[in-house]
Structure 1
C-alpha cells in the first residue's frame, strides 16, 4: 500500500513514519512518498526516517519529490500536512492579531482565520488533483485549521476526505486514566467542531463515570484540563472542554499572557525548527537524535501561556508522546483492512447535529470500516455550546466564501463575526495587516 505525505518535509512526519514501523499486519504501508516544496527540508526529514528505519526489517520504502502530481499518482492514502506560509507565516499571524489586542493562535480566532484564508485555496487545488489523479485514494487531513480545511476539501472529495486531530483522543485518555478506566474500553461522548468540542460523558460498561469526576475537585485537579479550567467552571459546564476552549473562556487573560510573553508560540517554533534543519544539513550530524531533542522541547512547551495563566503547571509525561499519528494509523487500518473501530474524527455532519446542515464538517465519534467514517448519533449540545458552534461555523463559511470568490469584504465579515474579535473596525484592520504580510492573500480584492 502506498502512502503519500504532503508537507513531507514537515517536522512531525517522523511521528507518522515511526507509527508505520510498528505495523506488521497484512495490507500495511510498504511505500511512503514525501512531497514538499522545500527540497532541503525534504532531505532533512528523509535522513531522520532513514535512521528510524535502520535495523527494522521490512521498513516502508521512502522516496521524496517536489512534483505534486508525481506524488499523488498511485496513492492509496494521502496525508495532507501542509503549512502554507510556513512557521514564519504563523508568527506573522500571531503578531498582527496581538497588535490589535486579539488572539492570534493558529487555529482559533483571528490567527486561525488568516491561516485558513491562505490555506483553503491550496487545499482545494490539492483536492481537485487527488480527484483527477488518485480518485480511489483516501485523504486524511492533518492541515490546520483542520475542520475548515477538511470541509473545503470535502466539496471536491466528498466523504473520501477525513480530518483528524489528537486533542479529543488525548482528552479522553486523560479522563479515563483519572477515573481508573481503560481508555480502549471507554466510550467517549465528545461533540463539537475541531478545537471547539466537549466531553459530555465517559461510559464504561454502560455506566457514565463523568459525573463522578465532575463532583470531585481533587480528581479534577489531577489532570491538565481540570487544572486549566478549574473545578468550579467545569462543574458549571457539566462537561470537560477541549483545551482550546481555554482561548474562549479565558480570552482576556490569554491575550494578555501572549502579549507579555518573550516570544509567541509561532516565533518560538520558527526559530527552533530553523535550528533543527540547519543542524541536520551537516552530513555528520545524528539526524534522529537532533529531531528527538527538538521534539521533546516542542511538546513540553505546548500551550505554555495558557497553563501559566491557569496555574496548571507542567505537562504530564504521558501527554508528551504525541498521538495524531496513532489516530492516523488506526484510521488507515480500519479502512484498508475493514478492521471496524470507533475514532473521533472530522467528517460531514449529515444529520448528527440538528443545528448544522448536512455538509458542515464536525468533530464526533465515528464508526470506521472499509467504507469510511460514519458519524455516530449524539444528543443535542446545550444552548451555550450550540451558540458557540454555530457562530464559529458561520465564520468558517465566510472564510470558504472569501477563498472561493476572492472577496475582501467576505474576509472582513469572517473576522468581524468571530466571537473573539470585538469590532468591525478591528476586523478591517486585521485584513489590512494580514494582506500586507502574506503574499498568499493577494487574491483578496
Structure 2
C-alpha cells in the first residue's frame, strides 16, 4: 500500500502526515510504503529520520524512501497526498498588500480577492503538474490535496486532468466549535452538516447528536443574546451573515471575508495583518516580511516595544489560547463574584485552530514547532482527514468525513455541475460517497455562484495564458470597484511576481 507525500519537506505537513500514517493500524497492517517527495532535498533526510523514529516508537515497519523526482515517487502509488507552497509568508504579504494599494478591500489574501487569484496562479502550475504526472505513472491513484487556495486548485486539477482529486480542509470544524461556544455545549454534542465552497460553507443542519433536536432555533436566540463584541475578530462577520441569511457560515471572519466586498467593517485584523510603514519600503522591495497577525484574538497587538528580534508570526498556539481563555474566565468570575450564575464563560475563548494556510495546507498545525525532528514528540493524530479517507478507500473502513471538496454532481443544488464544492461524505471500500445536500437559500447561492464563475474563468485563464480572461475573473470579484484598478493590479502583480507566475499575455 503505497502513499506518496508531495511537499514532505514542510515542517508542518511532513511530520504531521507521517505521524497520521504511522498511527493508522489499518494502513500499517496492509504493508505501508511511504515515499517522501519534495523538490527541495535539504529537509528530506531529516524527515526520513523523523519517520524512522516514529515508526520505531510505535513498533511499525513501513518501507520509507525519499526523492526529489515525481517520476521516481509515483509509479505504483495508491494515493498521493500533497501540500505545497513557495516562500509562503513572503508572497502572502504581497498578495495582501498590493491589492490594497490599488484600493481593493483585500481580506487575508489567501483564497479570495486579487490576492487569492495570484496565490492560485503561483500554485496552479505545480499542482497540475503533479496531477499530470499521476496520469502517466499512477492513473488509478487518488490525489488528496491540502494546498490553498483549495477550491481553485482542485478545480484546475479536476478540469485539466483525469485524476481523481479530493480537496481536504479542517475549516468546517471551526464553525462547529463557534456554534458550540454560543450554545454552551461540548463540540462533540453537535451533529452539524455544511455545504458550499471551501472556506465559505453554510450549515444546513445543527442537531444534538444524542437527541436529534434541531438546535438552530436555540442558536439564533443565543446568538442574539450574546454580546456583539464577543470574539469579534473571529465571528462578528459570521454572526451578521447568520442574521441576514439564516444559516451559520464557516470557518471564520478572515476566511469568509475574502469572498465579500464589505467584510472589513467586521474584521479589525484587516488593518494590521503584515503591518509595515510604507515610508520604509514595501515588503516586496525590502525583502523583509512584516509580522503576520492572524487575528486579534488574545491581543497580539500587545507587542513589547523591543521584542528582542524579528517576530515573523503572531498567532497564539493552541495551548496559549486555552490558557488565555481559562485566565479570562477566571478573571470574569472573580470580578462578577459569579452572582448571576454565569460569568460569561460560555462564550469565552477563541478555539480557532486555522493557521492561515487554512489547511489549511498544513495538517497538524503547531504540533511540530515545539519539538525537534530528531525526536518523535507527542504521537497524536493531527485531526486532518487524509488518513481516515485512505483507511476507507484502501482498507475498507466505513468512515464519515465532515468535509470533502469534489466536483459537483448535484451534491449542492443550484451550483454548476463540475464546479468544486465542499460537502460531507462517507467513504468505504467501494469509494467516496459525497452527500447530496438540500438547496441553499437563494441569497447564499448567489454569493457562491459568483465564486464558481470566478474559479472557472481563472482555470481558463491559466490554461490559455490569457490575462484578458483573468481580468474577467477579477471584474466579477466582489472586492473590485474599478476597471482601471483591476487592470493595474494584474500588471503590478505580474511585475512583482513574474518569476513565479505562469506566462500570461493580454
Report the TM-score, using the length of structure 1 for normalisation. Answer: 0.81
Q: Per-residue displacement from partner, 1:392-445 (whole Å, max 9, x unpaired)?
A: 111111110110000011112222211122222111111111111221325101
- Is 2:247 the partner of 1:239? yes
SS at match of 1:192: strand
- Is 2:438 the partner of 1:379? yes
Q: Distance in 2 between matches of 1:380 and 1:17?
A: 38
Match of 2:6 in 1: 6
Match of 2:386 in 1: 328
Match of 2:218 in 1: 212
Match of 2:237 in 1: 229
Indicate if the aligned counterparts of 2:206 and 2:214 stay in contact, CA closer than 8 A.
Answer: yes
How many residue pairs are counted as aligned between the two chains?
Answer: 414
| Cα RMSD, aligned residues only | 3.5
Match of 1:130 in 2: 134
SS at match of 1:404: helix
More divergent stretch after superposition (178-187 vs 427-436):
178-187
Q: Distance in 2 between matches of 1:23 and 1:341?
A: 14
Q: Distance in 2 between matches of 1:84 and 1:317?
A: 25
1:409/1:319 CA distance change after superposition, 3 Å: closer
Shift of 1:160: 1.8
* 1:347-362 alignment, distance < 5 Å: 347-362=406-421
Q: Distance in 2 between matches of 1:314 and 1:421?
A: 34
Q: Distance in 1 between matches of 2:388 and 2:274?
A: 39
More divergent stretch after superposition (10-19 vs 253-262):
253-262
More divergent stretch after superposition (254-263 vs 189-198):
254-263
Of 351, 354, 370, the match for 1:316? 351
Q: Distance in 1 between matches of 2:3 and 2:232?
A: 34
Q: Distance in 2 between matches of 1:65 and 1:74?
A: 15
1:433/1:76 CA distance change after superposition, 3 Å: same
More divergent stretch after superposition (26-35 vs 5-14):
26-35
- Is 2:233 the partner of 1:258? no
1:353/1:95 CA distance change after superposition, 3 Å: same
Match of 1:278 in 2: none
Q: Distance in 1 between matches of 2:348 and 2:472?
A: 38
Q: Which runs of 5+ in 2 are unaligned?
A: 277-282, 294-312, 322-346, 356-363, 366-380
Shift of 1:50: 4.7
Q: Distance in 1 between matches of 2:492 and 2:60?
A: 50
- Is 2:176 the partner of 1:172? yes
Q: Which runs of 5+ in 1 are unaligned?
A: 272-293, 303-311
Q: Distance in 2 between matches of 1:262 and 1:138?
A: 37
Shift of 1:11: 2.8
Indicate if the aligned counterparts of 1:189 and 1:201 stay in contact, CA closer than 8 A.
Answer: yes
SS at match of 2:384: helix
Indicate if the aligned counterparts of 1:87 and 1:269 stay in contact, CA closer than 8 A.
Answer: no
Shift of 1:82: 1.2
Q: Distance in 1 between matches of 2:484 and 2:397?
A: 52
SS at match of 2:57: coil
Shift of 1:59: 5.8
Indicate if the aligned counterparts of 1:228 and 1:246 stay in contact, CA closer than 8 A.
Answer: no
Indicate if the aligned counterparts of 1:141 and 1:163 stay in contact, CA closer than 8 A.
Answer: yes
1:324/1:385 CA distance change after superposition, 3 Å: farther
Radius of gyration: which is bigger? 2
Indicate if the aligned counterparts of 2:20 and 2:382 stay in contact, CA closer than 8 A.
Answer: no
Of 332, 337, 352, the match for 2:395? 337
Indicate if the aligned counterparts of 1:269 and 1:298 stay in contact, CA closer than 8 A.
Answer: no
Q: Distance in 1 between matches of 2:428 and 2:178?
A: 26
1:2/1:270 CA distance change after superposition, 3 Å: farther
Indicate if the aligned counterparts of 2:38 and 2:68 stay in contact, CA closer than 8 A.
Answer: yes
1:363/1:220 CA distance change after superposition, 3 Å: farther
Indicate if the aligned counterparts of 1:9 and 1:41 stay in contact, CA closer than 8 A.
Answer: yes
Match of 2:306 in 1: none
Of 65, 75, 78, the match for 2:77? 75
1:258/1:185 CA distance change after superposition, 3 Å: closer
Q: Distance in 2 between matches of 1:418 and 1:54?
A: 51
Match of 2:325 in 1: none
SS at match of 1:202: strand
1:370/1:230 CA distance change after superposition, 3 Å: closer
Match of 2:40 in 1: 38
1:382/1:29 CA distance change after superposition, 3 Å: farther
